[in-house]
């Protein structure tokens, strides 16, 4: 019984201690939450204060930078104004005044220029920068600016149309005459055609925008047909010009081959040049040659034929002459060797045959011999022939007529 009472007492004490700990933790937690809430509030207040300070500082900086505007006056060109106002806006895109000033100068620029695409893109960029950076976006102002832009475009379009209508008849007439003359002009210029086509695109733009009435569109179609014909004419003339230039170059090369051919010092070089000249000749388009080029070609061809006959005749004469010089040296060697030991050659068939073979007299081709060389050959041959035995005469005769003769 005492043990049970003791146990219950212990449990009660533990429970009480535990409850005290929980109460203590809860109290501490609430205190921490309150402290954190106060810290966050102070932090937000500080952040808001910093933001306000930043805005204020930016505004003050903008006011200081506005001094740049004091540099501008009425005499300054619009480009200089645009550069300064653009720089100011993009540095302070949240400033309403900077936004208004830059938009106004862009509108002024558009009104004074025909090419406006780049300024349209810039206006879109300005709207985007203003929307992203402004603290209080004035959409009504943006819409008003857009409406003003549409009015400017409509006015420019009307002015352009009115100006065009005043000169369209003369433009149509001028273009018609130009392309008609261009087709019939022998000195056809592609650069002139392309230059005129650049300005002709204005007519096409007018047509696309329905600035032309039906009669004008018919005139425009006639001009377009002449343009197509002009291009066809140009292509034909350009092709002919290209072929003529190519033929001229080939004829000049052929003439150079002729000059080098005449300077050839041997048959090998002459044949090499002739082969190259033939390849050059095969590239000429004979059907497109005009009378002047045909005459020049025939002149070069005749000169080549005459030069070939003379040059190869000269080479042939030189070759025959050199062969005859070689032949008389062989005959002299035969005569000298025979009389150095005539008894041996007179008696021995084998020795006299070997002597003819050694000096290559047996190979002499008499059809190439000049009169003087033939006489020398006949004299020495007869002299030796008369000094040997009859059997040796037969052997020599058989050996000589059986031998393969020289060819030059």
pTM of the model: 0.39
pLDDT of 242 reads: 80
**SS3 string of 11-62?**
HHHHHHHHHHHHHHHHHHHHHHHHHHHHHHHHHHHHHHHHHHHHHHHHHHHH
Which of 390, 387, 406, 386 lies closest to 398 in space, CA to CA? 390
> Rounded CA gap, 212 and 91, in Å?
47
Which of 179, 209, 212, 177 lies closest to 195 in space, CA to CA? 179
Cα angle 184, 188, 192; round to 5? 115
> Rounded CA gap, 400 and 334, in Å?
14
Q: What is the DSSP letter of 266?
A: S
Which of 111, 118, 106 lies closest to 155 in space, CA to CA? 111
> Rounded CA gap, 296 and 280, in Å?
15
Structure tokens at 104: 């106004």
CB of 321 within 8 A of CB of 371?
Answer: no
> Rounded CA gap, 63 and 43, in Å?
30
Judge residue 133's burial from the number of C-beta atoms within 10 Å of its C-beta, 0-12 exposed, 13-18 middle, 19 or more buried.
middle
CB of 349 within 8 A of CB of 391?
Answer: yes
- pLDDT tens digits in sequence order for the chain, 408 residues long: 556 666 666 666 676 666 676 666 666 666 666 666 655 665 555 555 444 445 455 555 666 666 655 565 555 577 778 888 888 888 888 788 888 888 888 888 887 776 666 777 888 888 888 788 776 777 788 888 888 888 887 777 777 666 666 656 666 676 667 666 666 665 555 555 555 565 555 555 555 555 566 776 777 777 777 767 766 766 677 677 788 888 899 999 999 988 888 888 888 888 898 889 888 988 888 888 888 889 898 998 888 888 888 888 888 888 999 999 999 999 999 999 999 988 888 888 899 899 999 999 999 999 999 999 999 999 999 999 998 888 889 999 999 999 999 898
- Please name the residue that has the structure tokens 């000429």: 284
Contacts for 134 with CB less than 8 Å, ≥ 6 apart: 93, 94, 96, 99
3-state secondary structure of 355: helix
> Rounded CA gap, 170 and 164, in Å?
10
Residue 340, CA distances (Å) to 42, 328, 353 in order:
140, 18, 16
Q: What is the DSSP letter of 93?
A: T
pLDDT of 378 reads: 93
CA atoms within 13 A on the CB side of 307: 20
């Amino acid at each position: 019984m005492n043990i049970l009472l003791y146990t219950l007492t212990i449990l009660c004490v533990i429970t009480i201690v535990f409850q005290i700990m929980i109460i203590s933790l809860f109290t501490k937690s609430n205190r921490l939450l309150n402290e954190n809430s106060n810290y966050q509030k102070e932090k937000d207040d500080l952040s808001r204060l910093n933001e306000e300070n930043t805005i204020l500082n930016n505004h003050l900086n903008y006011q200081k930078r506005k001094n740049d505007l004091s540099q501008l006056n009425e005499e300054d060109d619009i480009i200089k104004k645009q550069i300064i106002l653009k720089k100011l806006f993009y540095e302070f895109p949240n400033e309403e005044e900077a936004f208004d000033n830059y938009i106004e100068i862009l509108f002024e620029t558009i009104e004074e220029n025909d090419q406006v695409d780049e300024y349209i893109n810039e206006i879109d960029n300005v709207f985007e920068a203003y929307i992203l950076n402004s603290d209080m976006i004035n959409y009504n102002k943006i819409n008003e600016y857009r409406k003003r832009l549409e009015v400017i475009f409509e006015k420019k379009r009307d002015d352009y149309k009115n100006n065009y209508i005043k000169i369209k008849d003369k433009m149509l007439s001028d273009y018609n005459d130009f392309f008609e003359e261009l087709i019939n002009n022998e000195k056809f210029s592609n650069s002139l055609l392309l230059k005129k086509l650049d300005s002709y695109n204005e007519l096409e733009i007018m047509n696309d925008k329905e600035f032309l009435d039906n009669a004008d569109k018919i005139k425009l179609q006639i001009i377009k047909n002449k343009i197509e014909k002009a291009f066809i004419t140009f292509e034909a003339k350009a092709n002919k010009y290209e072929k003529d230039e190519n033929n001229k170059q080939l004829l000049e090369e052929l003439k150079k081959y002729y000059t080098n051919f005449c300077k050839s010092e041997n048959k090998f070089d002459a044949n090499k040049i002739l082969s190259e000249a033939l390849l050059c000749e095969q590239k000429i388009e004979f059907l497109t040659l005009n009378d002047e080029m045909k005459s020049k070609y025939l002149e070069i061809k005749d000169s080549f034929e005459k030069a070939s006959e003379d040059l190869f005749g000269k080479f042939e004469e030189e070759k025959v002459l050199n062969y005859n010089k070689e032949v008389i040296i062989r005959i002299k060697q035969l005569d000298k060797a025979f009389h150095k030991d005539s008894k041996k050659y007179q008696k021995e068939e084998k020795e006299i045959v070997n002597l003819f073979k050694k000096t290559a007299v047996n190979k002499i081709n008499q059809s190439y011999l000049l009169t003087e060389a033939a006489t020398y050959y006949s004299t020495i041959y007869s002299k030796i022939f008369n000094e040997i035995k009859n059997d040796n005469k037969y052997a020599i005769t058989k050996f000589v007529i059986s031998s393969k003769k020289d060819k030059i």
